[in-house]
Amino acid sequence: MALYYYYAMFAISLAILAVYVFVFHKHFDANITVLAVLVPLVNLSLLIVATSTNIEEALVGLKLSYIGGCYVMLAAMFLIFNICGVNIPRWIKLVLFVISTAIFTTSLTIGHNGLFYKDMPTLVFSADGVAYIADKHYGPMHTAFYALVICYYLATIAVLIYCFFKRKQVSRKILLLVVLSVTVAFFGFFLGRFVTKGLNLQEVELLPATYNLGVVLYLVIASRLRLYDASDSVTDSLVEKGDTGFVSFDGKMRYLASNETAMAMIGEIRQYVVDREPNAFPIAKEHILPLAERFERDHNDNKAFLPLDGKTYLLNMNVLRVGRFYQCYQLLISDDTTNQEFIKLIQNYNTQLEKEVQEKTKSVLDLQNKLVLGMASMIEGRDNSTGGHIKRTSDCMRLLIETMREEGYPGLSDAFCFNIVRAAPMHDLGKITIDDAILRKPGRFTPEEFAVMKTHASEGARIIKQILDGTDDVEFMKLAINVANYHHERWDGSGYPEGLAGKDIPFEARIMAIVDVYDALVSKRVYKERMSFEEADHIIMDGMGKHFDKALEPYYIKARPKFEAYYQSLEETKE
What integer pLDDT is reported at residue 257 of this predicted model?
85
Q: Which pLDDT band, with edges at 50, 70 and 90, does 341 fall under? A: confident
What integer pLDDT is reported at residue 557 of this predicted model?
94
**Sequential DSSP letters for 215-260:** HHHHHHHHHHHHHH-HHHHHHHHHHHHT-EEEEEE-TT--EEEE-H
What integer pLDDT is reported at residue 479 of this predicted model?
93
Measuring CA to CA, which residue among 82, 115, 75 is closest to residue 97?
75
> What is the C-alpha to C-alpha distance for residues 184 and 313, in angstroms, rounded to an integer?
54
Phi, psi of 523 (to 5 degrees): -110, 150
Q: pLDDT > 90: what percent of the chain?
A: 26
Q: Which pLDDT band, with edges at 50, 70 and 90, does 547 fall under? A: very high
Choice between 304 and 167, residue whose per-residue pLDDT is larger: 304
The top-scoring range by mean pLDDT among 65-69, 183-187, 366-370 is 65-69
Domains identified in the chain and CATH numbers: 2-233 (1.20.1070.10), 242-335 (3.30.450.20), 361-574 (1.10.3210.10)
Query: With 50 as the cut, is the pLDDT of residue 569 above it?
Result: yes
What is the model's pTM?
Answer: 0.47
**pLDDT tens-digit series, residues 464-475:** 888 888 777 788
Query: With 90 as the cut, is the pLDDT of residue 434 above it?
Result: no
Quote the crossing angle between the two packed helices 414-423 and 389-406, to the nearest 10°. 160
The whole-angstrom distance between residue 236's C-alpha and the CA centroid of its chain comes to 23
Query: With 90 as the cut, is the pLDDT of residue 152 above it?
Result: no
> What is the C-alpha to C-alpha distance for residues 570 and 575, in angstroms, rounded to an integer?
9
43 exposed, middle or buried (CB, 10 Å; 0-12, 13-18, 19+)? buried
Query: With 80 as the cut, is the pLDDT of residue 100 above it?
Result: yes
Query: With 60 as the cut, is the pLDDT of residue 387 above it?
Result: no
User: What is the rounded average pLDDT for all residues in the chain?
Assistant: 82
What integer pLDDT is reported at residue 512 of this predicted model?
95
What integer pLDDT is reported at residue 230 of this predicted model?
43
> What is the C-alpha to C-alpha distance for residues 301 and 354, in angstroms, rounded to an integer?
30
Element (H, E) at 44: helix 30-50
The whole-angstrom distance between residue 119's C-alpha and the CA centroid of its chain comes to 70
> What is the C-alpha to C-alpha distance for residues 47 and 144, in angstroms, rounded to an integer?
26
What is the mean pLDDT of the segment spanning 115-140?
A: 84
Query: With 80 as the cut, is the pLDDT of residue 500 above it?
Result: yes
What integer pLDDT is reported at residue 199 of this predicted model?
58
What is the mean pLDDT of the segment spanning 323-351?
A: 78
